[in-house]
């Protein structure tokens, strides 16, 4: 149940922003690209979170149709939550955000 890259738009915004951030020469332009990168990655992560919540809510609603929650259904729901969490943590957006932070730290040390 891995969902690393949901669509190409999840990757294009951060890639564009990071490439602009790495080639900027002036400090104001660097900050603009940094802000754009963070906004782009944040929007992608928020979108991914909303989709994960919808999937989990749907699963909970289906499990609660009979107004009872069995141990197996609860185990399935908890596995789904853990799977969604892992998919988000291992996603391209989180990797790109870590890359942006490392790049910014490198520039600050110079």
Range of the structural domain that residue 105 is part of: 9-109
Question: Is the residue at 1 inside a domain?
Answer: no
Structure confidence by residue, pLDDT tens digits, 16-36: 556 665 666 677 777 777 788
Structure confidence by residue, pLDDT tens digits, 76-102: 999 999 999 998 888 888 888 888 888
Helix/strand/coil (H/E/C) assignment for every residue in 33-101? HHHHHHHHHHHHHHHHHHHHHHHHHHHHHHHCCCCCCCHHHHHHHHHHHHHHHHHHHCCHHHHHHHHHH
Question: Is the residue at 33 inside a domain?
Answer: yes
Question: Is the residue at 3 inside a domain?
Answer: no
How many domains does the structure of the chain reveal? 1
Question: Is the residue at 77 inside a domain?
Answer: yes
Question: Is the residue at 30 inside a domain?
Answer: yes
Whose tokens are 């790049």? That residue is 103
Q: Name the pTM for this structure.
A: 0.66
Question: Is the residue at 46 inside a domain?
Answer: yes
Question: Is the residue at 2 inside a domain?
Answer: no
Structure confidence by residue, pLDDT tens digits, 54-69: 999 999 999 899 888 8
Question: Is the residue at 27 inside a domain?
Answer: yes
Does residue 106 carry a pLDDT above 70?
Answer: yes
Going by C-alpha positions, the residue among 25, 85, 9 that lies closest to residue 53 is 85
As given in the structure block, the two tokens for residue 30 are 């660097």
Going by C-alpha positions, the residue among 107, 102, 97, 103 that lies closest to residue 38 is 97
């Amino acid at each position: 149940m891995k969902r690393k890259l949901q669509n190409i738009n999840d990757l294009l915004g951060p890639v564009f922003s990071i490439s602009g951030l790495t080639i900027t020469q002036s400090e104001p332009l660097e900050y603009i690209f940094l802000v754009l990168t963070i906004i782009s990655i944040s929007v992608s992560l928020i979108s991914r979170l909303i989709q994960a919540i919808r999937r989990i809510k749907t699963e909970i609603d289906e499990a609660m149709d009979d107004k009872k929650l069995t141990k197996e259904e609860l185990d399935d729901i908890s596995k789904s939550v853990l799977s969604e969490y892992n998919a988000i943590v291992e996603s391209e957006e989180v990797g790109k955000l870590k890359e942006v932070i490392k790049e910014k730290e490198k520039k600050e040390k110079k």
